[in-house]
């Protein structure tokens, strides 16, 4: 009798180790850059990649197996380059669950970064402010997150676990590097910008609709400071495979918690706020990359 337990087929990962290897080898053959830091640029934040020199750029659709962005504000280019002497790679745009991608595809680039030798991942996003103190244009250093889709089984690590990447039951209590959070707050203070840089909890919802008022109130009760539609799957997969993580949320709108409020959120305004803070964010991320020490985990 065969007593070996069968791996379930539902929810299993859609990308094989060979897929990750093929994409990594393709990139290693196309570029001599060997990045230690990767940055994922959120909605309207692709300008962050303008900080790099010795730039080499690939469109997502030209990279084998790479998921292609389908929404405005996500250019869909993978940009390699250097900032001072740090070699880095920027994703100008990401893909989301609500675009119809599996979470395996959403997080595919993170495992490519791992195989390329990346040690630190910087994630950025546009989000709505739930915390009543937050203003449009504030920047939230992500201290922790709530994986709401994960609670309902929409989790990038569901399915057979590939031990080559990480353990079956990864610890998430220290998902966001304390050292990098402190460094970011120090840099912001040196830049004289502490008044609009905060620390808080990011919550992922699947989207694509923005929250109802009742949903927003529920998120507030749960302890969320900002809400968005991304980031958490990427962070989870990065932490699983031992990549150090730092995250920034740009507060692009205040989430309505009150039925008498008249303002309506839309994606165009989200992108406009990104432009407004682009210069500061670019400087913050570039300085963090220059000053982060890759030996710490
Ligand atoms: O990729 P991010 O999380 O920055 O994108 C946010 C969430 C939605 O995709 C979009 C809504 O405007 O911006
Ligand atoms: N879910 C969600 N995502 C966002 N991205 C930018 N603003 C928002 C928001 O208010 N809610």
Residue-level pLDDT at 82:
95
Residue-level pLDDT at 4:
56
Residue-level pLDDT at 269:
83
Which of the residues 43, 69, 147, 256 is marked catalytic? 43
Going by alpha carbons, the residue nearest to atom 10 of ligand 2 is 128
Q: Tell me how far apart the terminal alpha carbons of the chain are, to the nearest angstrom.
A: 45
Residue-level pLDDT at 11:
46
Residue-level pLDDT at 74:
80
Ligand 2 pocket, residue 224 CB under 6 Å = no
Residue-level pLDDT at 9:
45
Ligand 2 pocket, residue 265 CB under 6 Å = yes
If DSSP codes are grouped into helix, strand and coil, which group holds residue 220?
helix
Quote the pTM value: 0.93
For the CA atoms of 179, 290, 117, 70, what is the dihedral angle to 10 degrees? Answer: 90
How far is ligand 2, taken at its centre, from the CA of residue 297, in Å? 30
User: DSSP labels for 238-284?
Assistant: HHHTT-EEEEEEEEEEEPP-STT------HHHHHHHHHHHHHHHHHH
Which of the residues 11, 57, 98, 218 is marked catalytic? 98
Q: What is the pLDDT along the chain (297 residues), one digit of tens a residue?
A: 455 555 544 445 789 999 999 999 999 999 999 999 999 999 888 889 999 999 999 999 999 999 999 988 888 999 999 999 999 999 999 999 999 999 999 999 999 999 999 999 999 999 999 999 999 999 999 999 999 999 999 999 999 999 999 999 999 999 999 999 999 999 999 999 999 999 999 999 999 999 999 999 999 999 999 999 999 999 999 999 999 999 999 999 999 999 887 778 888 888 888 888 988 999 999 999 999 875 444
Q: Which CATH number fits domain 17-291: 1.10.3720.10, 3.40.50.2300, 3.40.50.1580, 3.40.50.300?
A: 3.40.50.1580
How far is ligand 1, taken at its centre, from the CA of residue 93, in Å? 10
Residue-level pLDDT at 60:
97
Which of the residues 38, 69, 99, 249 is marked catalytic? 99
152 is in an annotated binding site: no
ipTM: 0.99
- Rounded to 10°, the helix 17-30/108-116 angle is 60
How far is ligand 2, taken at its centre, from the CA of residue 6, in Å? 40
């Amino acid at each position: 009798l065969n007593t070996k337990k069968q791996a379930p087929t539902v929810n299993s990962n859609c990308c094989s180790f060979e897929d990750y290897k093929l994409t990594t080898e393709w990139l290693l053959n196309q570029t001599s850059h060997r990045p230690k830091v990767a940055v994922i640029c959120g909605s309207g934040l692709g300008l962050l990649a303008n900080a790099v020199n010795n730039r080499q750029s690939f469109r997502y659709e030209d990279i084998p197996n790479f998921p292609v962005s389908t929404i405005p504000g996500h250019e869909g280019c993978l940009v390699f380059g250097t900032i001072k002497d740090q070699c880095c790679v920027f994703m100008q745009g990401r893909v989301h669950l609500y675009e119809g991608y599996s979470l395996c595809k959403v997080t595919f680039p993170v495992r490519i970064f791992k195989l390329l030798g990346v040690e630190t991942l910087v994630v950025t996003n546009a989000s709505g402010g739930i915390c009543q103190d937050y203003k449009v244009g504030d920047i939230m250093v992500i201290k922790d997150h709530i994986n709401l889709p994960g609670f309902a089984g929409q989790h990038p690590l569901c399915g057979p676990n590939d031990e080559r990447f990480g353990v079956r039951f990864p610890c998430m209590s220290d998902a966001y590097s304390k050292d990098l959070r402190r460094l970011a707050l120090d840099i912001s203070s040196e830049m004289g910008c502490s008044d609009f840089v905060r620390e808080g909890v990011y919550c992922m919802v699947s989207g694509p609709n923005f929250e109802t008022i009742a949903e927003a109130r529920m998120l507030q009760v749960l302890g969320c400071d900002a809400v968005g539609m991304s980031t958490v799957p990427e962070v989870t997969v990065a932490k699983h495979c031992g990549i150090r993580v730092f995250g920034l949320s740009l507060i692009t709108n205040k989430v309505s918690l009150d039925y008498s409020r008249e303002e309506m959120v839309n994606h165009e305004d989200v992108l406009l706020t990104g432009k407004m803070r682009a210069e500061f964010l670019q400087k913050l991320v570039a300085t963090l990359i220059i000053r982060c020490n890759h030996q710490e985990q």
